[in-house]
């Protein structure tokens, strides 16, 4: 394997220890440890061969994200037999939100297993969550869909989430406001009023039948979300 150039330190555990850690993590004995090592290898610690091809967890993350979405959809469809599509879509978005995925990855201890060139405590907003999605991809390739489904539904959803608490969490007031406008046949119009190049984004929100509000934030998305929250709460408090 001399053609492999290691850009960062190797996996911090010997194969025996790593085998037991993965077995404890996924509740079954892994068959292909290389898949799990790849799942836990951040792009900053890519292995590069002499042709310039790199190995990290990005491909497995892509696969795991798709498996996660399918399993969550299946779980919610069975768990809420009488709920409509809009509710199910909202709940799926909450479960697979970046903050939720990051929190579950942290709870599983993936921070201690992550192979990266990131300084401790500076993993950012995506590294751990991406590793969890890549781990799901590795489980699927190594043990099949049934084991991946069991890991997601039992260890993640039932083991780490409070489904009923999630029901009351709002992940996007803008989406709620747009849905309300469509349902009640009211125009909802966002207008950017700040000048390009400024550090603050100011958004004006006009909702038919209600006052126009303006708010600023460090990004367009945050500005729209903050002003949406203000108006949505005004609307619902008056209804």
Q: Supply the residues annotated as catalytic.
A: 65, 133
Residue 115 φ/ψ region, left for φ over 0, alpha for ψ in the -120 to 50 degree band, beta for the rest: beta
| 226 alpha-carbon distance from chain centroid | 21
For residue 217, list its beta bridge partners: 201
- φ and ψ of 13, to 5 deg: -125, 150
Residues 20, 25, 29, 33, CA torsion sign: negative
What does the block give as tokens for 45? 């610690």
CB 142 within 8 A of CB 49: no
CB 228 within 8 A of CB 174: yes
């Amino acid at each position: 394997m001399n053609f492999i150039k290691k850009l960062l330190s190797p996996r911090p555990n010997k194969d025996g220890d790593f085998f037991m850690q993965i077995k404890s993590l996924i509740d079954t004995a892994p068959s292909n440890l290389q898949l799990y090592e790849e799942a836990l290898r951040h792009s900053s610690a890519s292995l590069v061969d002499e042709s310039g091809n790199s190995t990290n967890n990005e491909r497995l993350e892509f696969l795991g994200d798709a498996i996660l979405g399918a399993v969550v959809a299946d779980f919610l469809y069975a768990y809420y037999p009488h709920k409509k599509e809009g509710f199910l879509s909202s709940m799926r978005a909450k479960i697979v939100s970046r903050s939720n995925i990051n929190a579950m990855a942290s709870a599983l201890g993936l921070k201690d297993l992550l192979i990266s060139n990131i300084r401790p405590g500076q993993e950012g907003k995506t590294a751990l969550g991406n590793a969890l999605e890549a781990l799901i991809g590795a489980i699927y390739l190594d043990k099949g869909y049934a084991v991946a489904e069991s890991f997601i539904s039992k260890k993640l959803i039932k083991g780490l989430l409070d489904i009923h608490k999630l029901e009351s969490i709002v992940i996007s007031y803008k989406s709620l406001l747009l849905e309300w406008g469509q349902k009640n046949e009211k125009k909802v119009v966002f207008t950017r009023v700040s000048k390009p190049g400024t550090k603050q984004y100011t958004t004006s929100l006009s909702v038919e039948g209600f006052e126009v509000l303006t708010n600023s934030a460090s990004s367009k998305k945050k500005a729209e979300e903050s002003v949406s929250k203000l108006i949505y709460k005004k609307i619902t408090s008056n209804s």
